[in-house]
Amino acid sequence: MRNRFYLWLLLISGVVLLAYLTSAAYREMSPEWKKYQAEYRELLIKNAKASGAKNRAMAPEIKVQQIYLGGLKRVERCTSCHAGIENPLMKNEKVPLRQHSGDYLKNHPVEKFGCTVCHYGQGRATNSKEAHGVGHETHWDYPIIPLSYIQSSCVQCHDLETLQNNGSEEIAQGEMLFREKGCKGCHKLNGAGGVLGKALDGVGSQPIAYFPMAFIRGERNVYSWLKEHFDDPRNIVPGSEMKSDFTDREADLLTTYVLSLRSEEMPGKYRLVRRFPDIEIRSAGGEALYRMYCIACHTNGKDSVNDEVFKRTIPAIMNPAFLKAVDNRYLKKVIEEGRAGTQMTAWKSAAAGLADREIDKVISYITRERPHGKPETFGIARYKGDAAHGEELYKIRCVSCHGAQGEGGVGLNLRNPVVQKNADPEFLAITVRDGRTGTHMAAFGEKGVGLSNQDIADVVTFVRALASRK
């Protein structure tokens, strides 16, 4: 019995092996590229005749076509299938035999540049799945880039201006969106930016393993990740604090731009720019800086935002009631030091990397519509604050928004050391008395909720002692 079993096993495995070897041999003898080259040959003869070309088209010998790019130390075999890529006779054929569109190959001769400098992909491969790196389970780090993002590769060698002047505006549009949408409010790039997200230098050449792919719906590669993440960050990274509100087109342009943030450099003789263009605008004015660094969270500065993801309020920093009560010294302190324990970054040069004069420019911008005249003073020095009574009032009136320990929620974080150390008691008292029009912070004074000035002095005394509580 046992012998019979082994005999059968031997026989079956023999048949399987034979079938496998035959199919491998067949594939070896008629690989994909052979088919395209044979087709190319036929089309060439047909098209040459039709166009009346006298000198008969010369098709290359059917074999793997290979380009060696010495300067880049790359070997590329893409033209094994993309056989007609430089041939005008193949203008109307289908990809892969079609002639390349545009002036791209005229400006970048194939024998010097190859294809992967612009398209990526695995140059050595001779079957399309491997060469393109898409459509199967092995996930390559650099599959060919979808044509909608291809302008990201041009910046390895060109500056944005040249590209824009030659009709390749998408990369420049992406860069502009990056500034206008306030990405640097949460991401450093070239040393400046917020710290809620990671620095984006080199993110375009991060390996695929860097990105959590679990929730990606499309092809699992960096391109899909970026696009789908811009569409909805929390779909891809649950609980993400990233902000996004982009049209489909904007998400494409941002993806193109982010992909251009690469860490490796092209060898000098391929580059027309000395290094990756430093698009950092160090001479930007206050408004441009506000857009770059603040707008993602503080929006137009006029509306206070109760942020669902942050689970706290992002204050309206251009609110007239706020501007009227606050002085520039305190504003500067808050912007420099941020608010530890909240999403508000410390913007000083040692942290988020803003220069002193940049912070001054932002302050001039924020305060440009400050109402004339000081607010009616409070004169808190005239009152002797009673912290115990203040605590009672705080529990009734303030806890629901500012938290039991002043940690914030709908209201701001009041126990923050920057507030505690630097906020003028006069500013705090005026804020409690007059509130902030258009936000959840009501006027608690006699004209509003009805607390007396003594009550307000008591509650401010209590608030100012919050940091010393556990």
Residues 429-468 that bind ligand HEC (CB under 6 A): 431-432, 436, 439-441, 444, 459, 463
* ∠ Cα 154 160 166 (to 5°): 75
Which residue shows structure tokens 């892969």?
A: 96
User: Does residue 96 have a cis peptide bond before it, meaning omega lies within 30 degrees of 0?
Assistant: yes
Query: For residues 408 and 414, is the Cβ–Cβ distance under 8 A?
Result: yes
Please, are residues 330 and 418 in contact by the beta-carbon 8 Å criterion? no
User: Rule CB under 6 A: is residue 259 a binding residue for ligand HEC?
Assistant: no
Q: Does 97 bind ligand HEC (CB under 6 A)?
A: no
Binds ligand HEC by CB under 6 A, chosen from 40, 89, 90, 113: 113
Q: Which is nearer to ligand HEC, 55 or 61 (CB)?
A: 61
| Stretch 409-428 residues interacting with ligand HEC (CB under 6 A) | 410-414, 416, 419, 428
Residue 433 gets the label, from left (phi > 0), alpha (psi -120 to 50) or beta, of alpha
115 binds ligand HEC (CB under 6 A): yes
Identified binder of ligand HEC from the candidate list 89, 222, 335, 430, rule CB under 6 A: 335
**Interactions with ligand HEC, residue window 291-310 (CB under 6 A):** 293-294, 296-298, 304, 310
Q: Which is nearer to ligand HEC, 14 or 448 (CB)?
A: 448
Closer to ligand HEC by Cβ: residue 11 or 309: 309
Stretch that binds ligand HEC, among 5-13, 49-57, 81-89, 215-223 (CB under 6 A): 81-89
Q: Which listed range, 10-18, 106-114, 277-285, 380-388, lies at the site for ligand HEC (CB under 6 A)?
A: 106-114
- Class of residue 427 by CB neighbours under 10 A (exposed 0-12, middle 13-18, buried 19+): buried
- Binding string, 26-65, against ligand HEC, x = CB under 6 A? ------xx--------------------------------
Q: Which of 30, 101, 263, 300 binds ligand HEC (CB under 6 A)?
A: 101
Burial class (CB in 10 A: 0-12, 13-18, 19+), 421: exposed
Contacts of ligand HEC in 344-403 (CB under 6 A): 344, 347, 362, 397-398, 400-402
Tell me the site size for ligand HEC, rule CB under 6 A. 119
For residue 73, the minimal CB distance to ligand HEC (Å) is 13
The residue within the footprint of ligand HEC, chosen from 59, 334, 430, 443 (CB under 6 A), is: 334
In this structure, the number of other CB atoms found within 10 A of the CB of residue 75 comes to 12
Q: Which of 89, 76, 78 is nearest to 40 (CA)?
A: 89
Q: Report the residue number, 48 or 131, with the smaller CB distance to ligand HEC.
A: 131
Query: Which residue in this structure is represented by tokens 């705090």?
Result: 428
Q: How far apart are CA 453 and CA 439, in angstroms?
A: 22
Cα gap 79→86, rounded to integer Å: 10
Using CB under 6 A as the binding rule, the residues of this chain from 229 to 258 that contact ligand HEC are 233, 237, 240-243, 254, 258
Torsion of CA 349, 355, 360, 362, to 10 degrees: -90
CB atoms within 10 A of CB 7: 10
Q: What is the C-alpha separation between 257 and 261, in angstroms, rounded? A: 7
Q: Which of 127, 235, 364, 452 binds ligand HEC (CB under 6 A)?
A: 127
Two tokens at 463?
Answer: 């608030």
Q: How far is the CB of 318 from ligand HEC (least distance, A)?
A: 9
- Nearer to ligand HEC among residue 7 and residue 248 (C-beta): 248
Residue 459 CB contacts under 8 Å (≥ 6 apart), including other chains: 390, 393, 394, 397, 398, 432, 444, 451
Tell me if 405 contacts ligand HEC by CB under 6 A.
Answer: no
Cα–chain center distance at 317: 25
Question: Which residues within the stretch 143-202 sit at the binding site for ligand HEC (CB under 6 A)?
Answer: 144, 147, 150-151, 153-154, 156-158, 162-163, 166, 168, 178, 181-183, 185-187, 194, 196-198, 200
Measured distance CA(268)–CA(434) in Å, rounded: 62
Q: Count the neighbouring beta carbons within 10 Å of the beta carbon of residue 432.
A: 26
Q: Binder to ligand HEC among 83, 87, 89, 119 (CB under 6 A)?
A: 119
Closer to ligand HEC at the Cβ: 82 or 380? 82
Determine the distance from the C-alpha atom of residue 13 to the mean position of all C-alpha atoms in its chain, rounded to a whole number. 53
Q: CB of 16: closest distance to ligand HEC in angstroms?
A: 27
Report CA Rg, the chain. Answer: 32
> Least distance to ligand HEC from the beta carbon of 462, Å?
8
Among 95, 340, 355, 404, binds ligand HEC (CB under 6 A): 95
Cβ closest to ligand HEC, residue 48 vs residue 253: 253
User: Between residues 48 and 354, which has the closer beta carbon with respect to ligand HEC?
Assistant: 354
